[in-house]
Amino acid sequence: MSSNQMQEIMEMPREFVKDGTQFINRCTKPDKREFLKISQAVGVGFLVMGVIGYVVKLIHIPVNNILVGGA
């Protein structure tokens, strides 16, 4: 290995740490309004996925068993 390759390998962890610290310093905790919006979005997502699962379990699966013959 040449010294140039060795220097590039040694530079990678330094860049990673530098980028990581910049990212952490830019991160902020959400305020109350932002937290409530995120919580509402997650709640709506849970609700939608629950309705889809309910429809599939109670409507699609029995109809499919009737059509296919339910072996």
State the alpha helices, DSSP H only, in 1-71. Answer: 3-26, 32-55, 61-68
- Total structural domains within the chain: 1
Spatial distance between the Cα atoms of 47 and 11, rounded to a whole number of angstroms: 48
| Token digits of residue 4 | 């140039």
* pTM recorded for the entire structure: 0.53
One digit per residue, the tens of pLDDT, for the chain of length 71 reads 677 788 888 888 889 999 999 999 998 888 999 999 999 999 999 999 999 999 888 887 788 778 787 55
